[in-house]
Structure 1
Amino acid sequence: MKRDELGDLVAFLAVYEERSFTRAAARLGTSQSALSHTVKRLESRLALRLLSRTTRNVAPTEAGEKLAEALRPALDDIEARLGSLAALRERPAGNIRITSSRDAARQILFPKVCELMREHPDINVEIAVDHRFTDIVAERFDAGVRLGESVEKDMIALRIGPDMRMLVVGSPAFLAAHGRPGTPADLTRQNCINLRLATLGGLYAWELGRDDRAMNVKVAGQFTCNDPEMIIEAALAGLGLCCLPDQHLKPWIDSGELVPVLEDWCPSFPGYHLYYPSRLQASPAFALLLAKLRWRG
């Protein structure tokens, strides 16, 4: 059915119900002559007379009665369904899909998502844990979580966590045996624990810097791993120094089991951000998620 054909049917039904072109035209916000032309066009297309017109009233023919009987339930159903769509727009409901690294999902995303789902039982959330850079548009995610410096320029980015630092730490026993490094150059003479990057497969070069001077330090040592938790265990066991985000290391630093070194060479950088396409029409559910996650520190 063409778009104008549906409009013709709606126009006919208004005349049928009002039994007047004048009243139907006022109801539809059009002129009487335009409405008369529309009904005539419909009759011509159907090759049937639908309305009998006199100078005093308008009455449906048998064909008009049958058409009206078929149209009214169908149009009522369409109106009801449109109303339900409006309710979805106004009521927080629906599905939200987010891709995130494991650490961001555990530390920031999951606690807030739990609150959101408890408060709004009609909202469903899927979190896909993945360390690779995901194309959220191609893979039909509503949003993703990355470090602020990694977000693409064509995305909207919402800060959801504090600034972070990569800290170099070692156990007290290791530092007592091997000494504390005073500069990044000293790391080349230390036993360091390497992190194998899950995304690219290469070794992470320790990102250090001071006074606008940035450097990437390639370290060496006996142990390499792609799992930060195991790297922390290795550092606790005295196998060497490691370099990981401060949020990972905080419990062991607070307990004294790991000691930061080279703190003056560990600058901060933008923490985790939720990012999503700029053209996304935010649903009420997604807007609530944004409000939950927005960093207020």
Structure 2
Amino acid sequence: MKVNDSSEEDFILAGFSEYPQAEFLLSLFVFGFYAVTLSGNTAIILVSLLDSRLHTPMYFFLRNLSFLDMCFTTCIVPQMLTNVLGGSKKISYVGCVVQYSVALALGSTECVLLAVMAVDRYVAVCWPLRYATIMHQQICHLFAAISWLSGFANSLFQSSLAIVLPLCGHRWVDHFLCEVLVIIKLSCVDTGPVESKMFIARLIILVVPVSIILTSYACIARAVVKTQSAEGRQKAFGTCASHLVVVSLFYGTIMFMYLQPKSNYSQNQGKVLALFYTVVAPTLNPLIYTLRNKDVKRAIRKVIWKDSV
């Protein structure tokens, strides 16, 4: 399909334009979730910094996750709302490249960061007496740096493959964001070799962290089974439950979306799944950690009580 009203440097993000009334309601829904994402994750970052009892490796990684989630949604939602509420569906070529590169980098970083957080929970449950020695400040910063660097390296690799592909005239993108796999479909050359390389990169950035997470929790489960006291089991479960829920939401959506056969893929299904992991999941993360975590709830009450005095 040709797009006559776009300049050579513009893409048209179709979004959910085939349902104009639903698209407006959806934009209000997205705005509400975006506001909760920003406020919820900002609250977690501030509370974990202000309460000295939360100056632990677990909350250091949680701050990284909260900051990452805010950046991820900010990379996508403002442009989406501008396109819906402003009436124009355009995004510049440079804006499109920046969006899919940054979104891919942050999504990849979250994959690795969740694996790092699983390792942290493994050390906390299986090596409690040596936890402070093993997970010292330098190793935490190293793990965080590895997460961010590997995420951006994966994005650099995949984005460099996509950016050199020549585009075919039309720039109609059947999505609400510039997503690298959707953009390369606009190319007028055979993209099979490029897609194969990208698939291998996605496989590595997904399967390696998942393997680490599964191994960590297998060891945790074995340690919990050996625990004699019910209180010990409950404490171990409490320290891991929130992370497991977040991992299940994130990886379940991503793997279903990116690793399923092309024959089973539906563009509308892809848009709905993308809406979930770019808008809904970052909102749920602070709620999950807050509602299930007594330390965070106590710290929030402490900060609120201080401010009210």
Question: Could you state the TM-score of these two structures normalised by the residue count of structure 2?
Answer: 0.22
Larger Rg computed on CA atoms: 1
Which has the larger strand fraction?
1
- Greater RCO, 1 or 2 (C-alpha within 8 Å, sep 6+): 2
Which has the larger helix fraction?
2
Question: Could you state the TM-score of these two structures normalised by the residue count of structure 1?
Answer: 0.23
